[in-house]
């Protein structure tokens, strides 16, 4: 066997701890499979006294993560996170020092991926990031290698386990958004500040990376239309189920003749779709290619074990001596700026929830406004309500252009009979 692959690890939280433990427990088997051992030669984390359930004795400790770039490691594993700050600084410093990098930092790659890719490619270094998207699901390798013969038409999926857990619990138990979020936080599935998960930011970062790999464009989170799940109510979940759908935070990028449409938003997904049955904190990704057709990958999207598994897959490729190759499938200089298409160009069906005063002619007014916009109603329901209380109206439409639907909803919102803003959710067939 050749000399061990020397690795420095920054960040010893859930993922970093699992990585160190798996490397320790499976050292011999990994060495046999990779043709050389993988050895941790330095670590860094904020709290040295914290117990991580693994023996770190004898491994040099660095209080400043950026110092790992100056060690004798061949590869730096960055598990700190953040588009800016110590983790980002370490990745840049490591590449500048001639060290390959494995990272789970989707924000960094989405925001600064092209500059880092140029740096890595100029030096012939690896910049690998399987763990940055969908946890243990090997979607990066699938797009960059397994599906390389395909012209990818679309990539869509459930990319945020926290939001999926919340929506699943709301459907399974009838819990409110607030109650389901509190449960996710108590289980460690949501941060104390869950904003990036529930407002779609986390999924948008991941989608920008997948769109780059799928379509050869510069990753650009600003090109992703983003809408979160905080406005989804128990009534929406129940109504969707009765109509034959589940509500999911869907991320989708699709190739169009004039650009790429990228969006993250709640959607009604039919029960016949495999995405409808992705529950809890699981993730799933569906890729449509001109040769392969539809490929579906599903599994744990977060957590120590699944994410550490993805990190180790990247380390194993480096240990085996595989060539670095372009970071995003094409050389960084050949990635095209993403021509972002407006969501107004989408065409599809919609779910619309209205809360109105219980008085005559309100339903007629709603139908008139939609009819004048040439939006055709498919189904309409009025859930039970108490007398004298505002009435909730739930309806679905036939296919309509988003711009037309937006204009109709704006007119509805201005109607004096409405007691709160309308809630519009897209239906994905």
Based on the structure, what is the number of domains in the chain?
A: 3
The last residue of a domain, from among 102, 132, 162: 132
CATH number at residue 390: 3.30.70.260
CA dist 185 and 198 (Å) reads: 12
Q: Does 365 lie in the same domain as 225?
A: no
The per-residue pLDDT for 12 is 93
Beta partners for 100? 75
DSSP character at residue 2: -
99, 106, 206, 248: which one is catalytic?
Answer: 206
For tokens 């120590």, name the residue: 304
The per-residue pLDDT for 385 is 59
Count of residues in the chain: 429
Q: Does 217 lie in the same domain as 296?
A: yes
206 carries an active-site annotation? yes
The per-residue pLDDT for 388 is 57
For tokens 């790992």, name the residue: 68
Q: Does 284 lie in the same domain as 201?
A: yes
Dihedral angle, C-alpha 152, 156, 157, 163, nearest 10 °: 140
SS3 assignment, position 27: helix
Domain membership flag for residue 84 = yes
Q: Which domain holds residue 365?
A: 343-427
The per-residue pLDDT for 340 is 84
CA dist 301 and 139 (Å) reads: 11
SS3 assignment, position 262: strand
* Pairing relationship of beta strands 400-401 and 423-427 according to DSSP bridges: unpaired
pTM exceeding the 0.85 threshold for the entire prediction: yes
* Contact residues for 187 (Cβ-Cβ < 8 A; gap 6+): none
**Over its length of 429 residues, how does the chain's per-residue pLDDT go in tens digits?**
589 999 999 999 999 999 999 999 999 999 999 999 999 999 999 888 787 777 788 899 999 999 999 999 999 999 999 999 999 999 999 999 999 999 999 999 999 999 999 999 999 999 999 999 998 999 999 999 999 999 999 999 999 999 999 999 999 999 999 999 999 999 988 989 999 999 999 999 999 999 999 999 999 999 999 999 999 999 999 999 999 999 999 999 999 988 899 999 999 999 999 999 999 999 999 999 999 999 999 999 888 999 999 999 999 999 999 999 999 999 999 999 988 888 888 899 999 999 998 888 899 999 999 999 999 999 999 876 555 568 899 999 999 999 999 999 999 999 999 999 999 999 998
Beta sheet of 38-44, edge-to-edge order: 38-44, 5-10, 75-78, 100-103, 127-128
- Helix intervals (H) in 124-250: 139-141, 161-173, 177-186, 195-198, 201-215, 234-243
SS3 assignment, position 75: strand
Q: Does 49 lie in the same domain as 114?
A: yes
Q: How many CA atoms lie within 13 A of 412 on its CB side?
A: 31
Domain membership flag for residue 316 = no
Q: Does 19 lie in the same domain as 102?
A: yes
Dihedral angle, C-alpha 29, 34, 37, 43, nearest 10 °: -100
Q: Does 210 lie in the same domain as 148?
A: yes
Q: Does 102 lie in the same domain as 15?
A: yes
291: tokens are: 């040769």
Rg (CA), the chain: 24
């Amino acid at each position: 066997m050749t000399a061990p692959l020397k690795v420095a690890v920054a960040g010893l939280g859930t993922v970093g701890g699992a990585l160190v433990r798996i490397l320790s427990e499976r050292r011999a088997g990994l060495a046999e499979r990779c043709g050389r051992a993988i050895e941790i030669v330095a670590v860094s984390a904020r709290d040295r006294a914290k117990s991580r359930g693994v023996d770190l004795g004898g491994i040099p400790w660095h209080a400043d993560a950026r110092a790992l770039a100056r060690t004798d490691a061949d590869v730096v594993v960055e598990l700190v996170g953040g588009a800016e700050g110590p983790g980002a600084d370490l990745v840049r410093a490591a590449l500048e020092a001639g060290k390959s990098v494995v990272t789970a930092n989707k924000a960094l790659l989405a925001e600064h991926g092209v500059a880092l890719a140029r740096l890595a490619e100029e030096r012939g270094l690896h910049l690998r990031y399987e763990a940055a998207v969908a946890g243990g699901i090997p979607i990066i390798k699938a797009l960059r290698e397994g599906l390389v013969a395909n012209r990818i038409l679309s990539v869509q999926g459930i990319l945020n386990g926290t939001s999926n857990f919340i929506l699943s619990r709301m459907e399974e138990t009838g819990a409110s958004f607030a109650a389901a979020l509190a449960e996710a936080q108590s289980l460690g599935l949501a941060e104390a500040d869950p904003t990036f998960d529930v407002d779609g930011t986390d999924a948008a970062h991941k989608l920008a990376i997948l769109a780059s790999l799928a379509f050869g464009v510069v990753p650009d989170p600003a090109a992703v239309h983003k809408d979160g799940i905080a406005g989804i109510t128990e009534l929406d979940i129940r109504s969707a189920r009765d109509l034959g759908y589940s509500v999911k935070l869907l991320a989708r990028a699709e190739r169009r003749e004039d650009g790429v449409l990228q969006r993250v938003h709640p959607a009604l997904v039919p029960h016949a779709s495999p995405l409808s049955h992705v529950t809890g904190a699981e993730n799933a990704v569906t890729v449509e290619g001109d040769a392969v057709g539809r490929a579906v990958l599903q599994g744990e999207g977060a957590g120590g074990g699944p994410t550490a598994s993805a990190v180790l897959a990247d380390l194993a490729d480096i240990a085996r001596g595989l060539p670095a190759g372009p970071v995003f499938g094409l050389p960084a200089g050949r990635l095209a700026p993403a021509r972002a298409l407006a969501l107004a160009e989408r065409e599809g069906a919609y779910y619309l929830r209205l809360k109105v005063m219980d008085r005559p002619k309100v339903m007629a007014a709603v139908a008139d406004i939609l009819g004048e916009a040439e939006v055709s109603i498919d189904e309409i329901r009025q859930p039970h309500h108490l007398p004298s209380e505002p009435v909730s109206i739930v309806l679905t439409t036939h296919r309509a252009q988003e711009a037309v639907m937006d204009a109709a909803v704006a007119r509805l919102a201005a109607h004096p009979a409405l007691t709160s803003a309308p809630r519009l959710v897209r239906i994905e067939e």
